[in-house]
Amino acid sequence: MHELGIIVHVMRTVEEVAAENNLTEIRSVTCEIGEVSGVVPEYMIDCWGYARSRSELLKDSELKIEIIPGVTMCEDCGKTYSTVQYAKICPHCGSSATYLLEGNGFSIKEIEGA
């Protein structure tokens, strides 16, 4: 389960940002997770519940998750399509000359604190 490692990294990053901005409490952390990133949102939430109990700064915080859709671009026809629905084959022209545009990343989008 690599989600716990990701959560540990997120917590360290949030704690650094809090220290730089003199925050004493974190209310929520919003993460963007790519639909085809391999990160399981439910596991992230479970790991957050465990990890936040170990941090005074994050103990009452909420983890919010936004899913970024997987979008693939076809090099032959120039159109985009849903990666999850059609995978590697372009539904517009049938080409396999495609590449992933977005949807495989992970980022901290927002930190709400006081």
Query: Which residues carry a binding-site annotation for Zn(2+)?
Result: 74, 77, 90, 93
- Tell me whether residue 59 is exposed, middle or buried, using C-beta atoms within 10 angstroms of its C-beta: 0 to 12, 13 to 18, 19 or more: exposed
Question: From the annotation, which residues make up the binding site for Ni(2+)?
Answer: 2
Question: From the annotation, which residues make up the binding site?
Answer: 2, 74, 77, 90, 93
Cβ contacts of residue 88 below 8 Å, gap of 6+? 72, 96, 98
Strands 71-74 and 98-102: antiparallel
Report the candidate in 18, 27, 34, 110 with the shortest Cα–Cα distance to residue 72. Answer: 34
Question: With left for phi above 0 and alpha for psi between -120 and 50, is residue 28 left, alpha or beta?
Answer: beta
